């Protein structure tokens, strides 16, 4: 039997954080979690857009329990500030959906000196998860869902040039960031298992879903090239992309399905993982390389200064 959002169980009393929830997949994810009774914090870079997203969700789900908080994943200071506010609240965190991302940007670096896509898509979410770990471990059955992409298949991890100082390619850099997301999710599960921590870490991908990513990142190049890239994204969205409501389903499946195992990669199961029922799907060999995953985890701790203190619950 095919899974759908109607199969999401009631989430009353559960608390979730969804990054990049002001539009696209993140907004759809936040909306469906709120529909089932979860209290959802929309972690967004632009709080005015976040407020509009809250209004939109509230019209669709009257009485939805929502909050908006500032989070810029490209700035570790912002990640730390967001996490500090969450920690000060003290409430256990049942679900973290690492959804926000940027795609195929021209060469840029974050204020911390990391290549923009690697720094935002991977390192920002890595640091966020590590800093929120105390709240996750305080929940009864915490989950972390990190959104990857089928484009992980073009990604490689070059530990000698993680910041693309030698030869930058926007799509290759995007692929690396998405492969990093997948490897992080799997290594987090491996380390939680080794520590005896009942945390489920999963990854998901939407297939090819219509969002602003296909136009905003490529369009940053400016000039004729930027306009052409953005135009190509709009054409692709119009002709072959699925709706964002469908693209959010893999994240929602990973976040709520009672039987999905930790470490699973969830996405569309047909037509080269672009259509059809949602469920666990295979990655390529690079997405299963646990030696690289372990090393990337260690390197990410060094780069961000965030260490994961996975401790089993007392007793």
> What is the distance between the alpha carbons of residues 268 and 286, in angstroms, rounded to a whole number?
20
Determine contact, residues 265/278, Cβ cutoff 8 Å: no
Cross-strand partners of 143: 95, 200
pLDDT at 209: 73
Determine contact, residues 103/113, Cβ cutoff 8 Å: no
**97, 102, 104, 107: CA torsion to nearest 10:** -130
Which ranges of the chain does DSSP label H, i.e. alpha helix? Answer: 24-35, 47-60, 76-89, 116-117, 125-137, 170-195, 213-216, 223-239, 244-247, 249-256, 290-304
Average pLDDT in the chain: 91
Give the pair of three-digit tokens for residue 204: 């998901």
On whether residue 315 sits in a domain, the answer given is no
Number of domains in the chain: 2
pLDDT for 250 beyond 90: yes
pLDDT for 10 beyond 50: yes
- The angle that helices 290-304 and 170-195 make with each other, rounded to 10 degrees, is 100
User: In the chain, what is the straight-line distance between the N-terminal and C-terminal CA atoms, in Å?
Assistant: 39
pLDDT at 227: 47
Residue of 45, 44, 55, 138 lying closest to 89 (CA atoms): 138
Determine contact, residues 41/89, Cβ cutoff 8 Å: no
The boundaries of the domain holding residue 224 are 209-241
pLDDT for 263 beyond 90: yes
CATH of the domain at 40: 3.40.50.720
**Binning pLDDT at 50, 70 and 90, where does residue 238 land?**
very low
Give the pair of three-digit tokens for residue 265: 């990669």
**Binning pLDDT at 50, 70 and 90, where does residue 229 land?**
very low
Q: Count of CB atoms within 10 A of residue 305's CB?
A: 11
In this structure, are 275 and 186 located in the same domain?
yes
Which residues, in sequence order, are CB contacts of 297 under 8 Å at separation 6+?
A: 183, 184, 187, 188, 191, 308
On whether residue 42 sits in a domain, the answer given is yes
On whether residue 312 sits in a domain, the answer given is no
149-187 pLDDT tens trace: 999 999 999 999 999 999 999 999 999 999 999 999 999
Give the range among 221-235, 237-251, 267-281, 296-310 with minimum mean pLDDT. 221-235
pLDDT at 212: 57
In this structure, are 80 and 187 located in the same domain?
yes
**Ramachandran sector of residue 90 (left: φ over 0; alpha: ψ -120 to 50; beta: rest):** left
In this structure, are 160 and 233 located in the same domain?
no
11-38 pLDDT tens trace: 999 999 999 999 999 999 999 999 999 9
pLDDT at 208: 85
Give the range among 49-63, 197-211, 250-264 with minimum mean pLDDT. 197-211
In this structure, are 39 and 144 located in the same domain?
yes
pLDDT at 104: 92
189-217 pLDDT tens trace: 999 999 999 999 999 999 987 555 544 54
In this structure, are 224 and 192 located in the same domain?
no
| 208 flagged as catalytic | no
In this structure, are 237 and 114 located in the same domain?
no
In this structure, are 223 and 97 located in the same domain?
no
Q: Which of 241, 257, 291 is the last residue of a domain?
A: 241
Largest CA distance in the chain: 63
pLDDT at 240: 59
In this structure, are 216 and 111 located in the same domain?
no
**Binning pLDDT at 50, 70 and 90, where does residue 1 land?**
low
In this structure, are 131 and 197 located in the same domain?
yes
Give the range among 38-52, 114-128, 226-240, 242-256 with minimum mean pLDDT. 226-240
Which residues, in sequence order, are CB contacts of 152 under 8 Å at separation 6+?
A: 175, 178, 179, 181, 182, 205, 283, 284, 286, 287
Determine contact, residues 44/70, Cβ cutoff 8 Å: yes
pLDDT at 292: 98
In this structure, are 66 and 157 located in the same domain?
yes
On whether residue 313 sits in a domain, the answer given is no
In this structure, are 225 and 186 located in the same domain?
no
In this structure, are 108 and 222 located in the same domain?
no
pLDDT at 220: 54
pLDDT at 314: 57
pLDDT at 121: 98
What three-state secondary structure class fits 118?
Answer: helix
């Amino acid at each position: 039997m095919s899974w759908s959002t109607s199969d999401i169980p009631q989430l009353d009393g559960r608390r979730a954080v969804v990054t990049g929830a002001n539009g696209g997949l993140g907004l759809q994810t936040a909306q469906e979690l709120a529909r089932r009774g979860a209290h959802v914090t929309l972690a967004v870079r632009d709080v005015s857009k976040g407020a509009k997203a809250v209004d939109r969700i509230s019209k669709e789900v009257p009485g939805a329990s929502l909050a908006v908080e500032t989070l810029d994943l490209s700035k570790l200071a912002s990640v730390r500030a967001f996490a500090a506010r969450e920690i000060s609240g003290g409430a256990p965190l049942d679900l973290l959906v690492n959804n926000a991302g940027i795609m195929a940007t021209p060469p840029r670096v974050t204020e911390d000196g990391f290549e923009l896509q690697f720094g935002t898509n991977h390192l920002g979410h890595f640091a966020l998860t590590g800093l929120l770990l105390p709240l996750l471990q305080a929940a009864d059955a915490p989950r972390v869902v990190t959104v990857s992409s089928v484009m992980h298949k073009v990604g490689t991890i070059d530990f000698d040039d993680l910041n693309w100082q030698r030869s930058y390619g926007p799509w290759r850099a995007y692929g690396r960031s998405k492969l990093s997301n997948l490897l992080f999710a799997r290594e987090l599960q491996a380390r939680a298992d080794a520590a005896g921590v009942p945390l489920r870490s999963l990854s998901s991908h939407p297939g090819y879903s219509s969002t602003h990513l296909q136009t905003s990142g490529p369009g940053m190049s400016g000039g004729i090239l930027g306009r052409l890239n953005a135009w190509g994204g709009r054409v692709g969205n119009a002709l072959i992309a699925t709706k964002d409501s469908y693209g959010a389903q893999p994240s929602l499946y990973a976040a709520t399905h009672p039987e999905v195992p930790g470490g699973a990669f969830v996405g569309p199961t047909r037509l080269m993982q672009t259509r059809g029922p949602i469920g666990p799907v295979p990655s390529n060999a690079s997405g299963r390389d646990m030696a690289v995953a372990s090393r990337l985890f260690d390197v990410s701790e060094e780069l961000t200064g965030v260490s994961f203190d996975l401790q089993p619950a007392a007793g």
